[in-house]
Amino acid sequence: MLGMPSHRQPSGVPWKVDSLNRVNDKNGLTEASRRSPIDTVESVRQWTHGFRPEAEVLEIGFESGAIPQVLIDANLSLYLVEASHTRLGIFRLMFPEVPSVYSDAKGCTFFSRTFDGVLLCGSSRAMLEPKQLAQLARIERLLRAGGRLLIIIPPQNQEAVDFDEGASAKDVYERVLRNSGLDILPGLFDRSGNEYVSAVKHVYAGVPH
């Protein structure tokens, strides 16, 4: 698929990883690529509690090995999409069993199917541009009925948005998602400074195609 190594296992079998430490710095990985603030990991772990075993979750954006490991340890079937070839290569070294694709690859199959959950890591200021917000409005199409979305907003990307009367990034994301038919859930908090947008898709949700 898309020139990538095959990582598929029989249907219904969750993806397993022995250890985050299977790859060392000789392979070009720094310690930072394996770790994430403890509070962030705990917030994501709390988010996973609402899923059934082996639920399928798509992670968009690879920030550190700690987040995928939390999803795998929660007995979820993980998939990853990444826009950076470098980050994607690191992810594949750390988690070779997990299906992963380059987001700009022609015919990216992960964007033409649905998941029980979507986790958007490390949202950037670029996501607040009109074209990117239009894409965010369509993220509900990746979710099955009852599916849940979590967006992690790092401190450096939380500032007020000039074009929206000083609204924060979190305010903008929540409004876009609400307008697309998703219900906004109570947010998660952590001491590392991240903000979170949590949402769920109900049967009636959907934007015009």
Question: Residue 157 — very low, low, confident or very high, per pLDDT cuts 50/70/90?
Answer: low
Any idea which of 73-87, 91-105, 111-125 has the lowest mean pLDDT? Answer: 111-125
pTM attached to this predicted model: 0.76
Give backbone dihedrals phi and psi of 49, rounded to 5 degrees, phi first.
-65, -20
Q: Tell me if 143 sits within 8 A of 118, measured CB to CB.
A: yes
Question: Residue 130 — very low, low, confident or very high, per pLDDT cuts 50/70/90?
Answer: confident
Q: Tell me if 158 sits within 8 A of 170, measured CB to CB.
A: yes
List the domain boundaries for the chain.
27-200
Torsion on CA atoms 162, 134, 67, 41, rounded to nearest 10: 50
Give the right CATH number for 27-200 from 3.20.20.140, 3.40.50.150, 3.10.110.10, 3.90.1150.10. 3.40.50.150
Residue 128, pLDDT score: 66
What is the pLDDT averaged over residues 149-153? 91
